[in-house]
Structure 1
């Protein structure tokens, strides 16, 4: 018992938690705040214009032609290649991040659990659709699955989730 407490205590120390919060959240927020307040807060005006553009176009985003290049087989430890086409309406690829969202499939609900994500790379534009590609590694056994999601992305945002927007395929 003493050995267990001794080995697990460093993971739950207040010092570690404060350090983690400071480096993950507070320092990042402070840097973003400094950037926003430069030049008479001109960046705030630009960020608000960008947010208005995002809100006006978000429901117009279309995700289609999701492909898994591995013949629908995933082998433990092997890369899985994914392609997808995304119509961004009046948005540009710089306004968003396109991700493969993957994990184990719950046998009862058929939903993804223990999920992870990887950002996909913009390959080219075909007509009104942008082609994205990327790979992820199958890290667990059992039934696996993936989907695609699109999140807003701006250098002055702390997290992509700050606008509470996430586009999933229909």
Structure 2
């Protein structure tokens, strides 16, 4: 790069760049991009639109009714968590976390209960991870119990919390409704 002729041109650098373009350009053609967009986005969207139109939009009506039921019940949802919320863990050590959800009008199939944890650095949780908790049983008081054993892959100081979000197989994204309940 620094070896330049009297006009300030580095012929060795130009040769290096030409070789990089010659060997790399075929890997990044528009054909590859168009194929990727077609398979990842366009075809799935077309198939989804066909499904939407089937049975006179019945699936969409059911999903809209489900969303309305979730929105009507969400303010009554309660979440309780048992277990310490932060601390120092040695490698291989775990924490049993139990959560109970009171969800008037909702079932475990309507909900995703997740443990969110991260390492504590400078009093902030960093590198956050989200892990689904397992629905265990319905308690006598009607609440739903969820359990998980948190076993981070690295030792250190961690903190965690539990959250609930609506869950439905036909949602395009788990935060689509903008509803979340933290413990």
TM-score normalised according to structure 1 size: 0.75
Matched, 1:125 2:138: yes
Uncovered stretches (5+) of structure 1, i.e. residues with no partner: none
Secondary structure of the 1:160 match is coil
Q: Indicate which of 115, 128, 144 corresponds to 2:158.
A: 144
Given the alignment of the two structures, is residue 95 of structure 1 paired with residue 110 of structure 2, yes or no? Answer: yes
Select the residue among 63, 73, 90 that pairs with 2:79: 63
The equivalent residue for 1:54 is 70
Structure 1's consecutive aligned runs of 4 or more residues displaced over 6 angstroms after TM superposition are none
Shift of 1:165: 1.2
SS at 1:60's partner residue?
A: coil
Larger Rg: 2
Could you tell me how far apart the structure 1 residues matched to 2:132 and 2:38 are?
24
Q: Secondary structure at the match of 2:175?
A: helix
Q: How many residues align?
A: 158
What is the SS of the residue equivalent to 1:146?
A: strand
**Runs of 5+ unmatched residues, structure 2:** 1-15
| Aligned partners of 1:54 and 1:152 also within 8 Å | yes
Query: CA 1:156–1:86 in 2, change beyond 3 Å: closer, same or farther?
Result: same
**Cα RMSD (Å):** 3.3
Summarize the Cα distance change of 1:104–1:26 in structure 2 as closer, same or farther, 3 Å threshold. farther
How far did 1:142 drift? 3.0
**Is 2:180 the partner of 1:166?**
yes
User: Does structure 2 conserve the Cα–Cα contact (< 8 Å) formed by 1:100 and 1:146?
Assistant: yes
Contact 2:119 2:128 (C-alpha < 8 Å) held by counterparts: yes
CA contact (8 A) 2:88 2:158 kept: no
* Mapped partners of 1:113, 1:31: distance in 2: 39
